Structure 1
Amino acid sequence: MITQPQQVTPLPDPDEERRRIQTERLLAYRDDGPLVAVLKGRLGRGLPPVPATLAAALAVIALAVTGVLTDGVILLVPSLVLVALVVPTAARDHLGRFDWVTPPLLRGAEFLTIILLGLAEGTPKWLLFVLIYIVGYHTYDTVYRTRQSIWPPAWIFKAGLGWEVRLLVIGAGAAAGQLTWVAAILTGYLVVLFSVESVTSWVRLDKASALTQAAAEQDLEASPEEVMEAATGDAEQG
């Protein structure tokens, strides 16, 4: 009797799988948005993440120290600097020894830019605090989920505009002298988006976990005869 050889699916290489997960985590922590999604495939190898992000952060600090962030179009410059230097780093795999520093550097640069532009335009400090808080909450939620091997949906990063579009919106609002209104609208939108998505996702996960646990407990409580009867019934239905 001639039998066809069975095709064996090769197991993924553990080291390669570890690198893939590490890259996905760091990219998720970056919180890239729709602009990065559009440009990422057109950037080639891109820029080294840590040096480029650090240079962008130092440039923003230099603009603040020199006192040029006063009013007008100059207030858009910090956002443009960050976008120009950090967006090209998204094409990298983030597997370098120090590439894990990129997300906190980027988030710190984003928060610093929001604070500097808000203070320059006299935006209420409580509003700046809420804006930074909701972005920070989204970052915390992303980190906590990925550590539980639960990945946030891809659409939430695009709907949340990503750090790059958020900064461009804030910068444009500051340059136009309308930062308070722009920040209020952006903050309200992000509060609703991130809080609703987070709550519904965790509730759905809790329900799924409860059903799984209940099914497991039912299997443990069933007698051998009941298990055999259930298996026989399933087989007859098949």
Structure 2
Amino acid sequence: MSDITYDVYRDDGPLARGLGRAGSALPAVHVLVPVLAGVLPLAAVVAFAGPDLPVRALGAALGWYVLCGGIASRLTTGTLSWLAPPVMRAAEYLVLLRIATWAPDDAALPAAFALLSALTFHHYDGVYRLRHQRVAPPTWLTMVAGGWELRLLAAYVAAVAGVVVQAYYVAAGAFALLFVTESVASWARFIASQRRASLVQSEDEEEDE
């Protein structure tokens, strides 16, 4: 897996990238070591804790996960390193959904699915672009969207403030507008470039004849 592909699949924001640069000075370890070190405690909290979970417990688990996941952002080598991005993607989706299930408002789940729909579009679009356009989405797109780490921390803050529904719907609308608009523009440019290349090739073939 190339560094560019790995970055797209991870969807790191500014905080994770900064932690990755700091973590590059640490002894080299397999990428799955810090990822699993962060995911497993978070998974335990998400799986077994109820809505009466102390706020500090979830905050500590999220903070530890962001730290470990961020440090792993510059580690791209090693057997099975390709497992890190899907593990982190699953962690993001499940935490966002779990926070919604803890909210007292019944509208939290529809809001969570709206947010997850926008995020899955963004992540699938990145994979599809790498496969067909051979280019990655622009870095600024991930930075504006906050990356997985800032989205999780923002969801935690929303849960503490009791505004999960409002925060999720606002984020879903903003992300949908951002991701779809940028994606449409990217594919329009790609199709136009393909047509120009095809036209030039046709003209060259006519000249050869």
Task: Return the TM-score normalized by structure 1.
Answer: 0.78
In the alignment, is the contact (CA less than 8 A) between 2:50 and 2:102 conserved in 1? Answer: no
Say which one has the larger Rg: 1
- How far apart, in 1, do the equivalents of 2:35 and 2:151 lie? 17
Matches within 5 A, 1:1-238: 22-43=2-23, 44-45=25-26, 48-70=30-52, 73-74=55-56, 75-92=58-75, 94-121=76-103, 122=105, 123-148=107-132, 149-222=134-207
- How far apart, in 1, do the equivalents of 2:29 and 2:167 lie? 31
Identity among equivalent positions (%) equals 27
The farther-off stretch of 22-31 and 111-120 is: 22-31
- How far apart, in 2, do the equivalents of 1:146 and 1:135 lie? 17
Cα distance, 1:41 vs structure 2: 2.1
Assess, with a 3 A threshold, how the Cα gap between structure 1 residues 24 and 172 changes in structure 2: closer, same or farther. same
Task: Return the TM-score normalized by structure 2.
Answer: 0.88
- How far apart, in 1, do the equivalents of 2:67 and 2:101 lie? 23
Structure 2 gaps, min length 5 = none
- Alignment RMSD: 2.0
Structure 1 gaps, min length 5 = 1-20, 225-238
In the alignment, is the contact (CA less than 8 A) between 1:72 and 1:177 conserved in 2? Answer: no
In the alignment, is the contact (CA less than 8 A) between 1:49 and 1:99 conserved in 2? Answer: yes
Matched letter for residue 179 of structure 1: V
